[in-house]
Amino acid sequence: MRTNYCGTINTRYLNQIVTLYGWVHRRRDHGGVIFIDLRDREGIVQIVCDPENANTFQIAEKIRNEFVLKVIGTVRPRPEGTVNLALQTGEVEVLVDTIEILNPSLTPPFQMDEESLSEAIRLEHRFLDLRRPVMQKNLRLRHKVTMAVRCFLDQQGFIDVETPMLTKSTPEGARDYLVPSRVNDGHFFALPQSPQLFKQLLMVSGFDRYYQITRCFRDEDLRADRQPEFTQIDIETSFLNEDEIMVLMEGMIRNLFREAIGVDLPSPFPRLSHEEAMFRYGSDKPDLRIPLVFTELTDLMQDVPFQVFRDAAQKPDGRVAALRIPKGCELSRKEIDDYTHFVAIYGAKGLAYIKINSLEKGLEGLQSPILKFLPEPVVKAVLERSGAQEGDLVFFGADKAKIVNDALGALRVKIGHERGLIDSEWKPLWVVDFPMFEWDEEENRWKALHHPFTSPANGHEDLLMTEPGKALSKAYDMVLNGVEIGGGSVRIHRQDVQSKVFNALNISEGEAREKFGFLLNALQYGAPPHGGIAFGLDRIVAMMTGAESIRDVIAFPKTQRAQCLLTHAPNIVEEKQLRELHIRLRNPKEVISWSY
């Protein structure tokens, strides 16, 4: 039986006989003595095969990288001059008494300590990629995070309850993954986008405090921080208001970071209204590590000769804002042009600017192609409001408020990173007071900003029927370093209020009954006030590890085309299976090419 993991052997075990199991990380033949770096999940230890032990040495000569071995040997100090303090095991080595090859290995397509690897190759051979120390570290941290969550919630009286994976399609959010029913011809299940409705039903059932670390599914376009299947830390509780829920969840996240990576997050987290976040940062998930903020100029530009600014300022939904860049005069014309192309991604038609070369010279000390269109008092007001100093540059955004916010908000983050303006490692906050609804121009109707089960803010219930665009909600998002890691709300626990929200969303009574009848029925049977939150486990762990993509903290992820390169999924199924499911394909079967 194994006595130790490889990576735990140190000077405490000197002169002891140990039994180790692991994979050959590297084999080196130095003048007749064979050295093997034996690796397991805890790390690497150096194994020494001496030619005086003839049987062992003959076996060692056959060993190659990634062979699986059982080794019995004696721990001894490394010879002087060979100590490697970079390894936990670097002061010792194991002199082999017996060695057994448990299984040989083909030559792997890459070394386990290679850094510059193609992601396609890694995902195709994920079982090997997961042997790499960095991936072992990532997934072990993920385990540590989930254990810390479970321990905290258990201590707070939360109960782990599983909810269905096969459920009903309720297409009010992202696109569902559908599962055809064999025994119910023409009917489909949906994989859950979240356990939202079931956790509300659990509150009606009196469980009071629920949590689940669960898989969720969304058929949407993928990005680095998205996967078709992902993991949520899903939480719901009864009889707490939004402030009490936020305090409790803030405590969980602080405990989580302390336990998992030894980081002490601030207490309490700052809170920012949605309106202020958009006004100051152009984003409802601002990265507070970046000190840059917007300067509001809409009122200043109402009557300026510069038509781009004037038209934007006079639009009901228009905005003119500025972003001051400290020492921005250093930016070259090419860099400014590159930023202009960047903001165009977000719909901006240009990126006006003023360079402040010298404050003493007044307008003559400024450099900009738009100065001739701006009256001197307006220019002075811009400099005063923005706090511009000599050597700074001021960028401008002028268009619909959404375009200005999106474009300057993204530019703020890009410049903050590129110019080294980030001033701390971790900056959490709560964004609160979200609008209940946002206007969908394509469908010409209001849509729920979070989801249609979010409670209106106190005093805003009447606005649901009269001015839904002004109604605020009891919703809250936890943001960390510009990433939304959790979102939640107090839910609607009264059927009459829920019906008002459906009405504002242009969901008829019949449609509401068809889609959500089970919830509406439950709300009539003494539903308690309740609320909750869901955290993105993959995002949190990715941030802790510094991974560029959540794929690096998921054992078997999909690509950005929602494919698994390891198992070649999705795949074509047999005609017999389709007939059993009562399905006929409209388009000819197109076989996916799995060549890389």
Give residues with Cβ within 8 angstroms of 433, minimum separation 6. 273, 274, 275, 457, 472, 473
Residue 111 annotated as part of some ligand binding site: no
Q: Which two tokens stand for residue 61?
A: 């000569």
Q: Which residues pair with 200 in a beta bridge?
A: none
The beta strand positions in 63-155, using DSSP E, are 68-77, 92-103
Contact of 534 with 486, CB cutoff 8 Å: yes
Contact of 72 with 97, CB cutoff 8 Å: yes
Residue 539 annotated as part of some ligand binding site: yes
Give residues with Cβ within 8 angstroms of 477, minimum separation 6. 284, 285, 430, 431, 434, 484, 486, 487, 488
d(CA 550, CA 128): 18
Contact of 231 with 538, CB cutoff 8 Å: yes
Task: Using DSSP, state whether 190 is helix, strand or coil.
Answer: strand
∠ CA 310-316-317, nearest 5°, is 95
d(CA 396, CA 404): 9
Write a three-state SS string for 1-66.
CCCCCHHHCCHHHCCCEEEEEEEEEEEEEECCEEEEEEEECCEEEEEEECCCCHHHHHHHHHCCCC
Q: Quick one: DSSP state of residue 292?
A: -
Residue 328 annotated as part of some ligand binding site: no
β-strand 428-432 against 393-400: which pairing, if any? unpaired
Residue 536 annotated as part of some ligand binding site: yes
- Burial class of residue 495 (count of CB atoms within 10 Å of its CB; 0-12, 13-18, 19+): middle
Contact of 566 with 264, CB cutoff 8 Å: no
Residue 491 annotated as part of some ligand binding site: yes
Q: Quick one: DSSP state of residue 523?
A: T
Task: Using DSSP, state whether 401 is helix, strand or coil.
Answer: helix
Residue 438 annotated as part of some ligand binding site: no
Which letter, b or e, does each residue of 156-165 get, where b requires 16 or more Cβ atoms within 10 Å of its Cβ? Answer: eebeebebee
Residue 219 annotated as part of some ligand binding site: yes
d(CA 285, CA 592): 38
CA 464 remoteness from chain centre: 32
- Burial class of residue 79 (count of CB atoms within 10 Å of its CB; 0-12, 13-18, 19+): exposed
Contact of 248 with 552, CB cutoff 8 Å: no
Residue 264 annotated as part of some ligand binding site: no
Residue 484 annotated as part of some ligand binding site: yes
Residue 218 annotated as part of some ligand binding site: yes
Torsion of CA 560, 566, 569, 574, to 10 degrees: 160
CA 423 remoteness from chain centre: 21
Provide, for the chain, the percentages of residues in helix, strand and coil under a 3-state DSSP scheme, each rounded to the nearest 5.
35, 25, 40
Contact of 331 with 393, CB cutoff 8 Å: yes
Packing angle, helices 495-504 and 509-522, rounded to 10:
150
> Per the annotation, where are the binding residues for ATP?
218-220, 227, 484, 536-539
> Per the annotation, where are the binding residues?
172, 218-220, 227, 450, 484, 491, 536-539
> Per the annotation, where are the binding residues for L-aspartate?
172, 218, 450, 491
